[in-house]
């Protein structure tokens, strides 16, 4: 295959990424572009296919690892009306775990600020399932 074919595949994957927004097609676009460079440098067809495969598999693995690390906290926070709301710390346990008073009941919470004490107010800055993540300062609003 020629470098032009690999670059055409990269462009097609990039256009598909713009339409889907998943980042997986961006990984394939980059893999195709890397393969185009290898082709330009004189790699044979077998080496081109190996470069494309390794680039794509490595990129997808890195993307999945990154998404797994940030996904629960980021996706749960999208359009969450509880963010920024004030809570009262009722009980502090071990490993930054606590019980807080919010909306007329107690909730499990994770304390980001280790200086929080019982009776002090904190603000919801995130969620992990039904567990609130609280800090001493409210989450900054992005413009």
Q: What is the mean pLDDT of residues 18-22?
A: 83
Write down the pLDDT at residue 143.
36
The DSSP call for residue 81 is T
Instruction: Give the contacts of 19 (CB within 8 A, at least 6 positions apart).
Output: none
Whole-structure pTM over 0.85, yes or no? Answer: no
pLDDT tens-digit map of 102-128: 998 999 999 988 888 899 999 998 888
pLDDT of residue 142: 40
Tokens describing residue 12? 């097609």
99 DSSP β-pair partners: 91, 108
Percentage of the chain surpassing pLDDT 90?
55
Say whether pLDDT at 88 is over 90.
yes
pLDDT tens readout for residues 59-82: 999 988 887 776 555 555 556 778
């Amino acid at each position: 295959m020629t470098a032009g074919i690999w670059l055409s595949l990269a462009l097609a994957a990039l256009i598909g990424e713009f339409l889907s927004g998943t980042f997986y097609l961006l990984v394939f676009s980059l893999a195709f572009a890397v393969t185009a460079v290898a082709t330009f440098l004189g790699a044979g067809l077998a080496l081109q296919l190996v470069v494309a495969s390794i680039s794509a598999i490595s990129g997808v693995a890195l993307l999945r690892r990154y998404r797994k690390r940030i996904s629960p906290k980021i996706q749960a926070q999208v359009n969450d009306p509880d963010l920024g709301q004030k809570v009262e710390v009722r009980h502090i346990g071990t490993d930054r775990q606590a019980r807080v008073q919010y909306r007329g009941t107690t909730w499990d919470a994770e304390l980001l600020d280790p200086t929080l004490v019982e009776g002090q107010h904190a603000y919801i800055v995130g969620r992990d399932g039904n567990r609130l993540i609280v800090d001493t300062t409210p989450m900054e609003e992005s413009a």
